[in-house]
Amino acid sequence: MHSVRPVVGLLIALALAGQARFAAAEPLLPGVNPDLPVQRQKKRHPEISDPVLGERAAVVEWAWSPQYARRFGLPAQPDGLKDGPLWLVGVKVLRLQAGERQTYHCRIAGLIDNRLPIIWPPGEQYMIHPGYQWAGGLPGDWVEAHDYGKPLVGKEYTPGQATWFKAPKNDRQARLPEDGMGTPYLLYYKRYLPELAYFELDGGCAYFNDPELFRNQIRFPAAKEARASFQPSAATFDLPDGLMRRIYPYTREAEAWRNCVYRRNGDKTFLMPPWAVKRFKGLCEPDSAVQPVR
């Protein structure tokens, strides 16, 4: 069993990361968005340019409930979670290597009541093979080794990520999510604390959406049925709008740059929204010197 003290210290440090005031900005290179807070930090290595994360390897934003704040001595979050089974949730954007270029992935993590009647992964601890987390996979026949496209999104305990219109204009928008996908567990500890499970999900940057127009949601299946995480029986939790306002600029940029990287590698099927074409102008043209990501 884990001790509470190091857990508290770690989560406080993570939760408060990014709340510091930013130093005066230095000139930014083309393609870098000056509106992202990390780009307003003073660069220790001015020669390093990253269009989304600056010098950071990852950016994470957290939301917690009043019960979590009381338990771990954090300030209350007026725009955080309400008391309930989900105590803590965070969205992380991290930089990964894709061939010779860097791209971004998104994760959803948190602490949830381990007595919640949902379908949990097998065993007390669970972890996807680390090769799944590497853009481009492992050397050799990665598709065969991982049975790509079958078990990761089809297991009965796989949670879902979805966005819903806040003001639906028709019955379809009211009944069905605007976007949705399975979000496989990357890490899971049933008793990270005696009554709380830790989860980390492989979220999709493209499946987060503007919190002014959409509810961003995670869904945990509670019954063994087709597309269980999208059935009414699932346990559903909206990601607070305050959390999404802080992280959405990063998820939006991350997905656009991911598509830009694939286009530079010669795959023009990855489309760029008009704002990204303008901002990354000249940076997304195919580069024959770079091998396509496999």
Given this model, what pLDDT does residue 19 score? 42
Average pLDDT over residues 45-49: 65
Q: What's the rounded Cα separation, in Å, for the pair 239 and 81?
A: 8
Q: What's the rounded Cα separation, in Å, for the pair 73 and 60?
A: 20
Given this model, what pLDDT does residue 30 score? 65
Given this model, what pLDDT does residue 260 score? 87
On the question of pLDDT at 149 being above 90, the answer is no
Average pLDDT over residues 105-132: 88
Q: Which two tokens stand for residue 16?
A: 């408060």
Instruction: List for the chain the helix, strand, coil content (%; round to 5).
Output: 25, 25, 50
Task: List pLDDT tens digits, range 193-224.
Answer: 999 999 999 999 999 999 999 999 999 999 98
Lowest-confidence region among 231-235, 264-268, 273-277: 264-268
On the question of pLDDT at 10 being above 80, the answer is no
Given this model, what pLDDT does residue 269 score? 85
Q: List the beta strands (DSSP E) in the chain.
A: 58-64, 86-98, 101-113, 125-127, 160-165, 179-182, 185-193, 196-201, 214-220, 235-238
On the question of pLDDT at 145 being above 70, the answer is no
Given this model, what pLDDT does residue 259 score? 87
Grouping H, G, I as helix, E, B as strand and the rest as coil, residue 160 is: strand
Q: What's the rounded Cα separation, in Å, for the pair 200 and 218?
A: 12
> What's the full length of the chain, in residues?
294
Is the pTM of the predicted complex or chain greater than 0.75? yes
β-sheet bridge partners, residue 96: 103
End-to-end CA distance of the chain: 40
